[in-house]
Amino acid sequence: MSTLHTVNKSAYERNALKSCLDHALPGDAILLIEDGVLAARKGGSIAPALTAAKASCKIYALGPDLAARGIVAGQVLEGIETVDYAGFVDLAAGASRVCAWL
């Protein structure tokens, strides 16, 4: 029944993540990819919004995209799970639909 939402734009440049959070229902999964992973770093101004969303949605970030941008394990917001490409596929396969926020 649930939706996998993907966000590939930086939350500091676009409103894709905000729009995504506004339209995600409890039980949905949100996967940050490409520049979307920038929001997953601790200490950023978007962090409180993501932390609040964690209460009802599961949030993931794509490991290779974090690594490419120099965001290392200890810097990722608590509660955000890092997945690899196979994990991305599993999330998509496990969801009823995938909704991309571009």
Partner 1 sequence: MSDEQAKKKFFYLNRKAPYGTIYALESLEVVLIGAAFEQDVSLAFVDDGVFQLMDNQDAAGTGMKGFSKIYRALGDYEVRKLYVEKESLETRGLSIEDLMPITYEDENEDYAEKPSIILVGKSELAKIIADQDVVMSF
Contact positions vs partner 1 (CB under 8 A): 1, 3, 15-16, 19, 22-25, 28, 96-102
To partner 1, the closest distance from the beta carbon of 28 in angstroms equals 8
To partner 1, the closest distance from the beta carbon of 11 in angstroms equals 14
Q: H helices of 27-95, where?
A: 47-53, 63-68, 85-94
Candidates 36, 44, 35; CA nearest to 5 is 36
CB nearer partner 1, residue 1 or residue 93:
1
Tokens 């396969």 belong to 93
Bridge partners of residue 31, in order along the sequence: 6, 60
CB nearer partner 1, residue 25 or residue 68:
25
